[in-house]
Amino acid sequence: MADEKVLNVAVVSAEKALWSGQAKSLVAKTPEGDIGILPNHEPVLALLVESPLRLEGIDGTRMAIAVHGGFFSVAGNDVNVIAEVAELAEDIDIERAQAALARAQAAGADDPDEISAIRRAETRIQTASIAKGVR
């Protein structure tokens, strides 16, 4: 019988499977705002917006993953996150992300590609900061 006190989470992107395991909770951002998922949550299918995905492991460790679009589903205690692009916080080079943000801001926010570049860089910086305990 499955443990009803934990979530079984899988996070994948178009390129690869990033993480799978058990978690106490997950917080994701949808177009309507943040949604927290705990064990035995009602079924959900939702779009993801560019933001950090936050997980709390069953041992209390916290993890952050930069998610750049996609969707997630909750069925029973199974959570599947399908991201267009995703990065584990520990894989993010924060100095590179800050340089990318500076370049994107200097280019302006006149078209969708420039706005997207700014959001991607901001999400990477925010995700890396969460992982380091900085808010």
Question: In angstroms, how far apart are the furthest CA atoms of the chain?
Answer: 55
Model pLDDT, residue 1: 42
Q: What is the mean pLDDT of residues 81-90?
A: 96
Q: Looking at the predicted structure, is the pLDDT value of residue 50 above 50?
A: yes
Model pLDDT, residue 49: 96
Residue 125 and residue 101 in contact, taking contact as beta carbons nearer than 8 Å? yes
Q: What is the mean pLDDT of residues 47-57?
A: 96
Residue 26 and residue 37 in contact, taking contact as beta carbons nearer than 8 Å? yes
Q: What is the mean pLDDT of residues 101-128?
A: 89
Q: What is the mean pLDDT of residues 30-42?
A: 97
Model pLDDT, residue 134: 56
Q: Looking at the predicted structure, is the pLDDT value of residue 5 above 70?
A: yes
Model pLDDT, residue 2: 56
Predicted confidence band of residue 104 (pLDDT cuts 50, 70, 90): confident
Q: For the chain, give the mean pLDDT.
A: 92
Model pLDDT, residue 113: 84
pLDDT tens digits for 18-31? 999 999 999 999 99
Predicted confidence band of residue 132 (pLDDT cuts 50, 70, 90): confident
